Amino acid sequence: MTKDNPKRPAAASKAQLTSATHLLDGEKVSFGEDAAKPKATDEALNSRYAKGDIRIVTESARYPLAGILAMLRETVEDEAGHKELRYKLDPEYQRRHRWGVERKSRLIESFLMNVPVPPVFLYERDLARFEVMDGRQRLTTLSDFCADKFALTGLQYWSDLDGRTYSQLPSKVRDGIDRRYISSIILLKETAATEEQAAMLKKMVFERLNSGGVKLGSQETRNAVYDGPLNKLCLQLSENQSFRRMWGIPFDPAPEEVDDEDAEESVDESTTTGKRMFEKMEDVEMVLRFFAYRQIDSFKAGLNKISDFLDGFIIEGNRFSDTLLGHYRAMFESTVEFLWHALEAESFCVLDVSKRPTKIVYDPLMYVANSVDVIPHRAKLLANKEVLRVELAAMYRQNQALFAGRRTNFVDTQQRNRCVSEAFAAAITKTK
């Protein structure tokens, strides 16, 4: 019983669920100690700097636009003799939102007018093999235009060129574009001695990049720096249709057709919010949160340092076995389907208070719905889903401050878990 919940019926206390998380073999993750480390002395700091600790090694390069298409198509052989692209532009490596044709056209117009364009950032993943850390949209736009994949539209100063592809440009105009360059800054391989250090430095660079005035989100950074089996699983599971319905994410966000600066204001609010979630990869983060939150008891900072929590989890989680990740897939899919059939689009909302899904509801609800105390009763709860809804709604009313989104420390997370657990316990009692 909590202070925020003084009126819960006695039956709920007697039937209160433990919501115990039974971790699977190989799942336990250590998040380190919370104790603050003593500050280093000036002597230690000087020595550390002199040794070159955490110092990025870079070089600059300029690429002529006339050769961009050939450059991005260039292949090299790996150690096994397989061909791979020298410049890796993985669609899942960066942001999901794509530039619309007008924004692409404005970039071409900028080059035509010799307007300064920010450099692209490359990471040397192996000797003379590169990943595009920032600038994929610019490089893709240039290569697509040179390949006649889109026609210019919405130009501001050269509107007479609207409707023309690269090959249809007047010869002098085409030559003018061809003689331009795009600059790059390359993070060299010798920057880091180990894969762990490389990941840390790449993350640091990602967090400091500001491409086109749009800051990289936490999961966008995580997706790029900590790509691996668990990350790929989260990407796949984020496409679950019931999950998308719960968050208001369109089934086909079609980001390549939407210009961020000209988004339709008439779109339903939940769809707009869901689309933004998709663009910032917050839906993928929600999947990761479900898996990581199973170990929230081990992270004393609670949700106050959720990014650190998720970073630590995915680093270890990418080493999980295929068998464990198979259990993760089944766990997520079954929990989402249960909640969808029980509460539908209101699953992650504060029932009878708000129609907007929130993370502060999502975490404990998914956690408890997946607990060993609830799974055996799912069928009965679905057969009496109105009972579950009533119990949850009553619990939210009696604990409004706890679910308002401002209380994020460790004690608050535990209290929300208990409150949701009590509501499920009361519903299970009434369905026997």
**Is 251 within 8 Å of 243 (Cβ atoms)?**
no
Within this chain, do residues 28 and 106 fall inside the same structural domain, yes or no? Answer: no
**Is 355 within 8 Å of 346 (Cβ atoms)?**
yes
Question: Domain boundary residue among 166, 193, 220?
Answer: 193
Domain assignment present for residue 219? The answer is no
> Can you tell me the distance from the alpha carbon of 390 to that of 394, in angstroms, rounded to the nearest whole number?
6
> Can you tell me the distance from the alpha carbon of 271 to that of 286, in angstroms, rounded to the nearest whole number?
17
Domain assignment present for residue 225? The answer is no
**Which of 121-125, 280-284, 291-295, 405-409 shows the highest mean pLDDT?**
291-295
> Can you tell me the distance from the alpha carbon of 335 to that of 364, in angstroms, rounded to the nearest whole number?
12
Identify the pLDDT of residue 54.
63
- Alpha helices, DSSP H, located in 359-409: 359-369, 378-383, 385-398
Question: Domain boundary residue among 152, 172, 193?
Answer: 193
Identify the pLDDT of residue 267.
36
Mean pLDDT of the chain: 84
**Average pLDDT estimate for 278-301:** 92
Domain assignment present for residue 3? The answer is no
Range of the domain at 130: 58-193
Q: Cα angle vertex 144, ends 210, 272, to 5°?
A: 50
Residue 120: in which H helix or E strand, if any? strand 120-126
pLDDT tens, 169-227? 999 999 999 999 999 988 887 777 677 777 777 777 766 665 444 556 788 778 877 88
Within this chain, do residues 348 and 383 fall inside the same structural domain, yes or no? Answer: yes
> Can you tell me the distance from the alpha carbon of 141 to that of 265, in angstroms, rounded to the nearest whole number?
26
Domain assignment present for residue 415? The answer is yes
Identify the pLDDT of residue 243.
96
Within this chain, do residues 24 and 63 fall inside the same structural domain, yes or no? Answer: no
Domain assignment present for residue 215? The answer is no
What total number of domains does the chain contain? 2
Per-residue pLDDT band at 90 (split at 50, 70, 90)? low
Within this chain, do residues 185 and 329 fall inside the same structural domain, yes or no? Answer: no
> Can you tell me the distance from the alpha carbon of 268 to that of 255, in angstroms, rounded to the nearest whole number?
17
Q: Strand, coil or helix: what is 137?
A: helix
Residue indicated by tokens 């292949």: 75
> Can you tell me the distance from the alpha carbon of 165 to that of 157, in angstroms, rounded to the nearest whole number?
17
Within this chain, do residues 18 and 112 fall inside the same structural domain, yes or no? Answer: no
Within this chain, do residues 162 and 259 fall inside the same structural domain, yes or no? Answer: no
Identify the pLDDT of residue 263.
39
Identify the pLDDT of residue 211.
46
Residues above pLDDT 70, as percent of the chain: 82
**Is 99 within 8 Å of 109 (Cβ atoms)?**
no
What is this structure's pTM? 0.72
pLDDT tens, 294-341? 999 888 888 999 999 999 999 999 999 999 999 999 999 999 999 999
Terminal C-alpha separation, the chain: 22
Question: Domain boundary residue among 135, 163, 193?
Answer: 193
Within this chain, do residues 322 and 380 fall inside the same structural domain, yes or no? Answer: yes
Within this chain, do residues 183 and 63 fall inside the same structural domain, yes or no? Answer: yes
Q: What is the dihedral of CA 351, 355, 361, 365, to 10 degrees?
A: 60
Within this chain, do residues 17 and 95 fall inside the same structural domain, yes or no? Answer: no
Higher pLDDT residue, 40 or 356? 356
> Can you tell me the distance from the alpha carbon of 298 to that of 177, in angstroms, rounded to the nearest whole number?
56
> Can you tell me the distance from the alpha carbon of 269 to that of 266, in angstroms, rounded to the nearest whole number?
8
Angle between helix axes 101-112 and 136-146 (nearest 10 degrees) is 80
**Average pLDDT estimate for 22-35:** 77
Contacts of 51 (CB under 8 A, 6+ apart): none
Identify the pLDDT of residue 10.
39
